[in-house]
Amino acid sequence: MIRAIVVDDSAFMRKAISTMLQSDAGIEVVATARNGREGVELVAKHKPDVVTMDVEMPEMDGLTALRRIMAETPTHVIMISSLTTDGSHAALTAMKFGAADVFAKEASTISLNITKLQPELVERVKALAQAGKKRFASKAAPGSACVRADAPAFKPGQFDLLCIGSSTGGPPVLEQVLRAVPASFRGPVIAAQHMPEMFTRSMAERLGEQCGLPVKHVENGMPLAGGVIHICPGGKNTHIRRGAGGRMTLLCNQEPAGTLYKPSVDVLLSTAAAAAGARTLAIILTGMGDDGVRGARELHAKGGVILAQNEETCVVYGMPRAVVVENLAMAALPPAGLARSLSTLGAAQAAA
């Protein structure tokens, strides 16, 4: 049984989230709290598998409570954030403080959307709880022993395109990896992080202050420019299209129908394989599920290179595991190793 605690100053939201979670027979809400102070106390008392935490609360806000919990009784915390500019900035800050995931809410419509929101929230809670058990047991994923654990060295000018996909727990790792891409890197960089559009826009703004390359939030029809980091917008799929003269353009839409996560890493990698083939380097970071593995198969078949984040450093070892067990990844590395590979690649290109 997965044990959860719900922290929110709204009685309605506490009830709604508890109802969503307990609709699954495998989840029990062992306590609810009205503010961050109560949340910290209840987490210390019950030691739950997962906590859902509102951001704005009286007495002690969610960010302060999160830092206390991660310092005193570490566990998986999902921040429940509003779809506003302030809410998205707070959510990204929470990820840096140790939050495992962010779940977007619209309080005015959550009662109407509870059927739609419930499966997604339950899936995230179950994935995080399972990840905690796997990490505690220190079991390696099947096939991981066949993947090299040293940062590979690449040839000067080997790649024209760098694609990165991430989900649960991804933003802090994505920031660390992208910060390592040197200003001398000549190819375009594009990243797909599973988040709502308001959050991906805020993430692009934050990365623009941290990275050596300029950062753009992708818009439909935008050219895929060299020496620029492109952040795919949430709620849509981003396709890479190569046109006349070899120029690549980014198209954003809802196709193909039925994609579970948007932006889809599968769509990004599949279109990258068609547009740049063997001259593509892809990195799959932490995240639940297996988004990216189908696109990785196509990219691998074209001769592209795929790196994965290693199990020990993933919040949820789902997406990287999927490419590792199919022997699609050249190497499985911690974020520092991935960053080291990218920094070496940039230096090599600069010297070329």
Tell me whether residue 82 is one of the annotated catalytic residues. Answer: no
φ, ψ dihedrals at 301, nearest 5°? -65, -25
Catalytic residue among 88, 144, 167, 270: 167
218-273: per-residue pLDDT in tens?
999 999 999 999 999 999 999 999 998 889 999 999 999 888 899 999 999 999 99
Highest mean pLDDT among 40-44, 178-182, 207-211, 340-344: 40-44
Q: Which residues on adjacent β-strands are paired with residue 240?
A: 250
Q: Which residue has the tokens 């309605």?
A: 12
In this structure, are residues 49 and 21 in contact, taking their beta carbons and an 8 Å threshold? no
Instruction: Tell me what the mean pLDDT of segment 110-129 comes to.
Output: 80
Whether residue 194 lies in the annotated active site: yes
Residue 302 tokens read as: 């074209």
Q: State in Å, rounded, how far the first CA of the chain is from the last one.
A: 56
Q: Mean pLDDT, the chain, as a whole number?
A: 90
The Cα 348–Cα 352 span in angstroms is 6
291 is catalytic: yes
- Mutual angle of helices 11-22 and 110-137, in 10-degree steps: 60
Write the CB contacts of 320 (distance below 8 Å, at least 6 apart in sequence).
Answer: 284, 285, 286, 287, 308, 309, 310, 311, 314, 329, 332
Report whether pLDDT(23) > 90. Answer: yes
How confident is the model over 81-94, as pLDDT tens digits? 876 677 788 888 99
Who contacts 119 (Cβ-Cβ below 8 Å, separation ≥6)?
Answer: none
Residues with Cβ within 8 Å of 164's Cβ and at least 6 positions away in sequence, in order, are: 174, 177, 178, 189, 190, 191, 192, 282, 283, 284, 285
Mean pLDDT across 151-177: 89
How many whole angstroms separate alpha carbon 327 and alpha carbon 321?
A: 10
DSSP letters for 184-207: T--S-EEEEESS-HHHHHHHHHHH
The pTM is what?
0.89
Q: What is the pLDDT of residue 106?
A: 66
The single residue of 8, 101, 291, 343 carrying the catalytic annotation is 291
Q: Which of 9, 88, 166, 194 is catalytic?
A: 194
**Measured between alpha carbons, how far is 337 from 331 in angstroms, rounded to an integer?**
10
Q: 33: part of which helix (H) or strand (E)? A: strand 27-33
Q: Which domains, and CATH codes, for the chain?
A: 2-137 (3.40.50.2300), 144-351 (3.40.50.180)
Burial grade of 3 (CB within 10 A; 0-12, 13-18, 19 or more) = middle
Q: How far apart are CA 207 and CA 215, in angstroms?
A: 7
Binned at pLDDT 50, 70 and 90, residue 104 comes out as confident
Side-chain-side CA neighbours of residue 263 (13 Å): 36
Q: Hey, what are 312's tokens?
A: 């020990």
